Amino acid sequence: MTTAQILSRARQEKRTVLTEIEAKQILGEAGINCTSTVLATTKAEAVVLSEEIGYPVVLKISSVDITHKSDSGGVKVNLANKEAVEQAYDAIMTSCRAYAPEAEIEGVAVQGMAKVGTEIIMGMIKDASFGPVVMFGLGGVLVEVLKDVSFRIVPIDKADAEDMTSEIQGKKLLAGYRGQDPADVPCLQDMLVKLSDFVNETPGIEEIDMNPVFAYKDGAVVVDARIILSA
């Protein structure tokens, strides 16, 4: 489905929360690299898709009603074979039904296990006065505790994106710290500009999280994504 189709279907269904699969499809269309993520509506389908993608894989609950996927027991990672996928599928369904009995569950999202890189968060929020604003920061604990992030008002250009990545306190971590690979900072800047371009051209988006994004020596990939539409 195209971005326009996804957005119009969500509107028809009167929902403001997009699924991870929908969010990644939209971001992918905007030129932002996301882990390939596909929906399996049955256990058998989950196995077929896992084999297509190649082990190890991740299964995540796909439901617009369950926003805290980990808390609900809806995420199983590093699944190395058919048996592991089947067990994980059952475990996710049991746990999520118990966590949210009313939730409408469309299935599980199957995705390849992304190699761990420097953990980044990017996002967007619509401010009442400034309109869409994009954010960049180091993910994981650094964003939780230190809120080490930078913001810019949309639209941003390349120079703004460069300022965003160099403004954070922990920018040394991007350069590769203690033998870790450096992050592909130009690629991250390019993602920020694409994110800004996308929200600038697409009305009706309220919030976006790309969290985490894994940055490597060459390239970066969005591992999890959320899009919230304006009510």
Partner 1 sequence: MMDLFFKPKSVAVIGASGTPGKLGYVIVNNIANSDFSGSVYPVNPKSDEILGYKVYKSLTEIPGDVDLVITALPTPKMTVATLEECARKGVKAVIIESAGFAEMGGDGVGYQKQIVDIAKKNNIRVMGPNCSGIVSRNIVTSIYPMNKKVPKGNVVLIGQSGLLAAGMAADIVENESLNISKVVSFGNKCDVSENDLLEYFGHDDSVDVISMYLETISDGRNLTRIAKKVAAKKPVIFLSGGRTEAGAKAAMSHTGSIASNAKIVEAAVKQTGMIMADDFTELKDFAKVFSTQPLPKGNRIAVITLAGSVGVNVSDLCASHGLELPKLTLETTEKLKDMFDTPVSNPVDLYFSVTKIGFTKTLETTFPEAFRDANIDAAVLILAGFEYTQEAVQKKIIQKIVKEVGKPVVICMIVGYNKYKNVIMDEMGKELPVFPSLISGVKALSKLCEYGIRRQKLLVP
Q: Which of 84, 32, 93 is nearest to 58 (CA)?
A: 84
User: Rounded to an integer, what distance in angstroms lies between the CA atom of residue 152 and that of residue 195?
Assistant: 12
Write out the binding residues for partner 1, residues 125-144 only, by CB under 8 A.
Answer: 125, 127-131, 133, 135, 137, 143
User: In 3D, which of 196, 230, 186, 228 has the Cα closest to residue 20?
Assistant: 228
> Binding string to partner 1 for residues 200 to 229, with x set by CB under 8 A, is what?
------xxxx-x--------------x-x-
DSSP assigned state of 17? B
Q: Does 160 bind partner 1 (CB under 8 A)?
A: yes
Minimum distance, C-beta of residue 122 to partner 1, in the bound complex (Å): 8
Indicate the DSSP class of residue 169. T
Binding mask 92-121 for partner 1 (x = CB under 8 A): -----------------------------x
Tell whether omega for the bond before 101 is within 30 degrees of 0, i.e. cis: no
Distance, in Å, from the CA atom of 156 to the CA atom of 99, rounded to the nearest integer, reads: 41
Q: Least distance in Å: CB of 195 to partner 1?
A: 11
Tokens for 206?
């309220």
Distance of closest approach, residue 144 Cβ to partner 1, in angstroms: 9
Contact characters 44-73, partner 1, x per CB under 8 A: -----------------------x------
Comparing CB distances to partner 1, the nearer of 64 and 91 is: 64
Contacts of 217 (CB under 8 A, 6+ apart): 181, 182, 183, 184
Interface ranges with partner 1 (CB under 8 A): 17, 67, 121, 123-125, 127-131, 133, 135, 137, 143, 147, 149-153, 156, 160, 163, 167, 206-209, 211, 226, 228
